[in-house]
Amino acid sequence: MSHPRGRPKDGALPLGGTARSDKGAQLSSDAHHEVVVRRLGQVDFQETWQAMQDFNCTRTEETTDEIWLLEHPPTFTLGLAGKTEHLLRDVGVPLVKTDRGGQITYHGPGQLIAYLLLDLNRRRLSVRELVRRLEQAAISLLSEYGIAAQRLQGAPGVYVAGAKIAALGLRIRRGCSSHGLALNVDMDLSPYAVINPCGYPGMPVTQMRDLVPESDLVGVSARLLAQLRTHLGEDHE
């Protein structure tokens, strides 16, 4: 069955799966900082990527920013300047070359993804500041679960005792962002063994469920959204 592509409307993305829109959600009281939140369930990577491209190609200065919360079926993705040599062997998981920054990573069920379709000029955000705030949102979320996470110099993302727990990759076009943050919550980590995660040979990875057994995707999703509202809001220092 084919799925029509295009910009999401009325709370449903044409990607298959179930979507819910929270149109009243806001990052601040300023009308220019409103955001539509879409909970999409598990959706195909390539169709979601196409939908992000369509959204940003058709948006105007008045288009409301959006955050899409979702999961993907098993998929390796490679950044714009990524090297295929970082896929060490074929295990039957599709590899998709994308337009985001960064090297290779893995997406699969149980990983929470937040795609951010933001007008950075309107929010007065630089790319570096957006990266910093996304990392901090994840660090603050993990702290709520008693997990001490930190940044790693020269390696974007979020780490726990040197193991990567959240990956970050963005595409900025005409001052607007796409792609975003992927947080390992409760997933099969074995596919990471056949890649150099984010281009780093031997980089260990971890997930919330291994650190806090009661972690669940629904609860983590709600808390991540709250942290994104806090750290992307206009008044955030």
Task: Encode pLDDT of 56-108 as tens digits.
Answer: 999 999 999 999 999 999 999 999 989 999 999 999 999 999 999 989 999 99
pLDDT in tens, 127-183: 999 999 999 999 999 999 999 999 998 889 999 999 999 999 999 999 999 999 999
Residue 69 lies in a domain: yes
Residues 6 or more apart in contact with residue 133 via CB below 8 angstroms: 125, 231, 232, 236
3-state DSSP call for residue 78? strand
Q: Is the per-residue pLDDT at 220 higher than 60?
A: yes
Question: How far, rounded to the nearest angstrom, does the alpha carbon of residue 164 sit from its chain's CA centroid?
Answer: 14
CA gap 232, 184 in Å, rounded: 21
CA gap 175, 135 in Å, rounded: 20
* Total residue count of the chain as it appears in this document: 237
Q: What is the pLDDT, as a whole number, of residue 34? A: 87
Residue 34 lies in a domain: yes
Q: What is the CA radius of gyration of the chain?
A: 17
Q: Is the per-residue pLDDT at 195 higher than 50?
A: yes
Residue 136 lies in a domain: yes
Residue 4 lies in a domain: no
Domain boundaries, position 158: 20-232
Q: Checking DSSP bridges between strand 155-160 and strand 95-97, what pairing results, if any? A: unpaired
- The domain total for the chain is 1
Residue 123 lies in a domain: yes
CATH number of residue 119's parent domain: 3.30.930.10
DSSP 162: T
Q: Catalytic residues, which ones?
A: 198
At 22, the pLDDT band (50, 70, 90 cuts) reads: low
